[in-house]
């Protein structure tokens, strides 16, 4: 009897030990799984290297700033066009920040020789900037984006439909109805039918230079033409709100607008 009871106790002990062991293993697995999930959802920023380069366009040589993640694999690339105020320091910071998201970014100084160059001159410079990106071993030339601010926003609206190498674009407080002049013969609204890729527009309701009513009207025309676009409007924000005194703004609106641009390019280029 005692022998039978002893055997029974040993069987129960072994069974409980097995249960405890399995429970620990499951707990360890869950911890490992949670760690994996956490690491995969964390924002991944890359170390960035920036440099001044030269881009030959026509008979002229333009300075440009380029920034790229220090990784070996091929990455999407973005051509960035500064505003009418030139390559202010805030744009350099913005370019480095965008590069840290996993993009090669090149920004040609399109006003180097003329404050208001002909549209054809700017278009050629952008095409030559694309050619420059094609010489880099770290660029996937099938994944190119275009973004611009102020006058650069107008060029984004105007040339995104014309330059087919671009897969998407972000126009910051642009001018969809600006043109009909000798230097600017075409208006962005006139080339809507040629737009084949997604475009995001970012604008402020207190933009005195480019009234928000024009953006709403342009959006209506894009919609009527069946063109895909997204529009992000910030209440009371003025023209050029991404920069303050030439520096990258730290306001809520500026930081949110930056996030809107990055996530849009992530969805359309990655």
Within a domain: residue 4?
no
Within a domain: residue 21?
no
State the pLDDT at residue 44: 64
- Predicted confidence (pLDDT) at residue 249 exceeds the cutoff of 70: yes
CATH of the domain at 107: 3.40.50.1820
Percent of the chain topping pLDDT 90: 83
Which structure tokens are listed for 148? 């611009």
- Predicted confidence (pLDDT) at residue 104 exceeds the cutoff of 60: yes
Within a domain: residue 33?
no
- Predicted confidence (pLDDT) at residue 22 exceeds the cutoff of 70: no
Residue 169 to residue 175: CA distance in whole angstroms? 15
Within a domain: residue 161?
yes
State the pLDDT at residue 254: 98
State the pLDDT at residue 21: 36
| Structural domains in the chain (count) | 1
State the pLDDT at residue 189: 98
Q: Which residue has the tokens 């799984």?
A: 33
Within a domain: residue 43?
no
The whole-number average pLDDT for the span 128-146 is 98
The whole-number average pLDDT for the span 201-215 is 98
pLDDT digits (tens, 9 = 90+) for 252-266: 999 999 999 999 999
Percent of the chain topping pLDDT 70: 84
User: How sure is the predictor about 45, in pLDDT bands with cuts at 50, 70 and 90?
Assistant: confident
Within a domain: residue 30?
no
State the pLDDT at residue 77: 98
Within a domain: residue 210?
yes
Host domain of residue 85: 48-269
The whole-number average pLDDT for the span 64-71 is 96
State the pLDDT at residue 72: 84
Instruction: Give the long-range contacts of residues 230-233, CB within 8 A, separation 24 or more.
Output: 230/198, 230/199, 230/200, 230/201, 230/264, 231/200, 231/201, 231/203, 232/200, 232/201, 232/202, 232/203, 232/257, 232/260, 233/203, 233/204, 233/205
Comparing 72 with 229, which gets the higher pLDDT?
Answer: 229
State the pLDDT at residue 94: 98
State the pLDDT at residue 38: 26
What pTM, to 2 d.p., does this model score? 0.84
What angle do the packed helices 119-134 and 151-159 form, to 10 degrees? 70
Query: Among 157, 191, 187, 192, which residue's Cα sits nearest to residue 171?
Result: 157
Within a domain: residue 26?
no
The whole-number average pLDDT for the span 160-168 is 98
Mean pLDDT over all residues of the chain? 87
The whole-number average pLDDT for the span 17-22 is 37
């Amino acid at each position: 009897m005692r022998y039978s009871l002893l055997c029974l106790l040993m069987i129960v002990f072994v069974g409980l030990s097995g249960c405890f062991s399995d429970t620990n293993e499951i707990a360890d697995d869950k911890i490992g799984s949670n760690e994996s999930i956490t690491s995969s959802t964390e924002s991944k920023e890359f170390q960035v290297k920036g440099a001044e380069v030269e881009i030959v366009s026509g008979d002229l040589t333009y300075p440009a700033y380029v920034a790229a993640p220090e990784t070996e694999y091929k990455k999407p690339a973005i051509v960035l066009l500064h505003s009418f105020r030139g390559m202010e320091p805030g744009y350099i910071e913005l370019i480095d920040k965008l590069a840290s998201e996993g993009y090669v970014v090149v920004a040609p100084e399109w006003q180097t020789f003329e404050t208001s160059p002909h549209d054809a001159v700017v278009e050629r410079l952008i095409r030559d900037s694309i050619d420059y990106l094609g010489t880099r071993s770290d660029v996937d030339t099938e994944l190119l984006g275009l973004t611009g601010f102020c006058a650069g926003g107008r060029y984004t609206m105007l040339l995104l439909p014309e330059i087919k190498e671009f897969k998407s674009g972000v126009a910051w407080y642009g001018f969809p109805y600006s043109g009909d002049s000798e230097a600017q013969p075409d208006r962005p609204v006139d080339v809507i039918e040629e737009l084949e890729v997604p475009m995001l527009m970012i604008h402020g309701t207190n933009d005195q230079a480019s009234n928000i009513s024009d953006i709403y009207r342009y959006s209506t025309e894009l919609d009527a033409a069946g063109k895909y676009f997204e529009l992000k409007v910030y209440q009371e924000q003025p023209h050029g709100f991404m920069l303050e005194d030439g520096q990258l703004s730290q306001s809520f609106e500026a930081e949110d607008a930056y996030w809107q641009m990055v996530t849009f390019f992530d969805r359309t280029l990655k």
